Structure formats: structure tokens, C-alpha cells
């Protein structure tokens, strides 16, 4: 399969490197990372150590591919729509954080749109080098058209052919809301407290704040028509905290590096949907306000 990785940062580079062992993969990202991959290939270390040689470019141009995997930050999704509008791709699949990305892609492109989640952990260690911090799973489902299950299965099969744990689902909205609840719980709390995920281990303290944000999100999901229980979310948060105890969340990494965060697609999205469905989410609202305040002080607003 010919695959474009649009947004080859940490996660995009890891998935691109893994898929390139079997498929024809081109990474689309920024220099100096892309120039390093062009010169010496992509080095992956951590869970496994290997070197692979995907294509690499900073300009997507008028590319042609069977699949475009979108892994950019949520706030760059609109720009990806403009870039992909000049390309010939069979399908576009978002593997991004937060929610709202799929709607943006579907609104601006005629191509079939898939949605997905992944639990792989990655960190861009330097130009041409990505660390695989934790082995995870990939789940793919149809977004538009909503009945494109066969296409979702073909994409999942392409991941499996490269040795990855991947499945297709008919209920991708549930998976997205559950991932959103986990991110809404872990990301802003670890970013504000500047701690690793393991600091949210219950009981008490930061864990209570994170759990409250997650269960608020589950309540909004239910009001929005997705059957996501508070118990399911509490268990999922605890599992992720345990499995990634020594990791820093993506939002923590962004704040530590002085970068803009994805708060609008995470807690900000929860607050927005809560207003639409008539729910109150004071913890999510507070966390979003605090991160927005940090962004303003850092010059990102």
C-alpha cells in the first residue's frame, strides 16, 4: 500500500517507520527531521531498534497514495485539508489527539474519511531518530461514509501486515470519546503540574482531578448519544496511567518546550459540546482556562 504520513513528528514518524518495513511510505514533515531521514533513513529505538528508509519530504505537492494518515497537531488540521486538496489519495485517516479533526477533514475533502485511535507511545529524539516508548494498538473506523467498514478493514489489514496490532470497528465514535476522556484527564493535569503520568496514580491528589475531568467527559459523551460509562472511563484512565507511568503526556511535552498545545481539541472540545447538550463541566472548564492562560503568557494567543 502507498501511504502518506502527513505530520511526521513523533507518532507519525514511529507509525511511518513501522509501516515502511512492509509498505511504500512517504513522511511529510519539517526540516531538519526530513532532511535527516532523506540522508540516512529513520532510526527507531526503544521497544524495538531498527533503521528503515521511508520517503521524506517537506512539501506534499500533488502526491498520489492509497492512504493519507494524518498525525498533525489538531490546530494544523485545516492546513492539511488545503494540502490534501491537491493530492490524489484513496482515503484519509485521522490518528490525531482530540476531537473535531474528522469533521474538519470531511468538510473540506471529497475523499472518504476514516477515524482512528492509537495507544503507541513515541518521542522524537532528534532529526532522523524516533523513540518507541510503548507498544500499543490501532483501531480504525469509518467516518464518512459511515458504512465504509470494508475500507476500514483494508487499512487495519495494512497495519497488521507490518506486524502491528490493528482492528477495524463499526463504533469509532465510542473509541474517540473514550480516548478524549483519557486525554482530558491526563494531559492538562500533567502539563500544569509538570509531572509524569504515574503521578496520577490513585487515590487522592492529582488523580482525583484527572478522574473528575474524565468522568465529566463521559457524561457529555452520553448526552451526545455515545454510551460511555463513568466506570469505563475511570478504569481506562487508571490503565493508561499504570502502563505509561514513566511517560510525559504530549501536552506536558508541549508546555515544557514552550509550544502551543492541543487544549482546544481536548478539554476545549468537552466544554463546547457540554454547552451544546446542556451539561456542566467545571473541571474541564477550569483546566482549559489554565492551559489557555499559560498559552497567552507564552505568546501563543
DSSP string, 72-127: S-GGGHHHHHHHHTTSEES-EEE--SSSSHHHHHHHH-SS-EEEEEE--EEEEEET
**Measured torsion, CA atoms of residues 28, 29, 35, 38, in degrees rounded to the nearest 10:** -30
What is the C-alpha to C-alpha distance for residues 39 and 59, in angstroms, rounded to an integer? 17
Among 43, 129, 144, 179, the one annotated catalytic: 179
73 is catalytic: no
Q: List, by residue number, the catalytic residues.
A: 179
Amino acid at each position: 500500500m502507498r501511504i502518506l504520513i502527513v505530520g511526521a513528528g513523533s507518532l507519525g514518524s514511529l507509525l511511518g517507520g513501522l509501516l515502511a518495513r512492509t509498505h511504500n511510505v512517504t513522511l511529510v514533515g519539517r526540516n531538519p527531521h526530513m532532511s535527516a531521514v532523506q540522508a540516512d533513513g529513520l532510526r527507531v529505538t526503544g521497544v524495538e531498534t531498527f533503521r528503515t528508509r521511508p520517503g521524506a519530504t517537506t512539501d506534499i505537492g500533488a502526491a498520489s497514495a492509497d492512504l493519507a494518515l494524518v498525525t498533525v497537531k489538531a490546530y494544523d488540521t485545516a492546513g492539511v485539508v488545503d494540502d490534501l486538496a491537491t493530492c490524489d489519495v484513496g482515503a484519509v485517516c485521522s490518528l490525531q489527539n482530540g476531537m473535531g479533526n474528522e469533521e474538519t477533514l470531511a468538510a473540506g475533502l471529497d475523499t472518504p474519511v476514516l477515524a482512528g485511535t492509537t495507544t503507541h507511545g513515541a518521542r522524537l529524539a532528534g532529526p532522523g531518530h524516533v523513540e518507541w516508548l510503548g507498544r500499543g494498538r490501532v483501531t480504525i473506523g469509518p467516518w464518512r461514509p459511515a458504512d465504509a467498514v470494508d475500507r476500514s478493514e483494508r487499512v487495519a489489514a495494512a497495519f497488521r501486515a507490518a506486524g502491528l496490532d490493528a482492528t477495524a470497528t463499526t463504533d469509532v465514535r465510542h473509541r474517540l470519546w473514550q480516548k478524549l476522556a483519557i486525554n482530558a484527564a491526563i494531559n492538562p493535569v500533567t502539563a500544569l503540574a509538570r509531572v509524569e503520568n504515574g503521578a496520577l496514580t490513585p487515590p487522592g491528589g492529582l488523580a482525583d482531578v484527572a478522574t473528575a475531568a474524565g468522568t465529566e467527559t463521559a457524561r457529555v459523551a452520553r448526552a451526545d448519544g455515545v454510551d460511555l460509562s463513568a466506570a469505563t472511563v475511570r478504569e481506562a484512565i487508571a490503565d493508561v496511567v499504570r502502563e505509561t507511568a514513566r511517560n510525559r503526556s504530549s501536552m506536558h511535552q508541549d508546555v515544557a518546550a514552550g509550544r502551543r498545545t492541543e487544549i482546544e481539541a481536548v478539554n476545549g472540545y468537552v466544554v463546547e459540546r457540554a454547552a451544546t447538550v446542556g451539561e456542566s463541566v467545571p473541571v474541564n472548564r477550569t483546566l482549559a482556562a489554565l492551559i489557555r492562560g499559560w498559552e497567552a503568557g507564552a505568546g501563543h494567543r
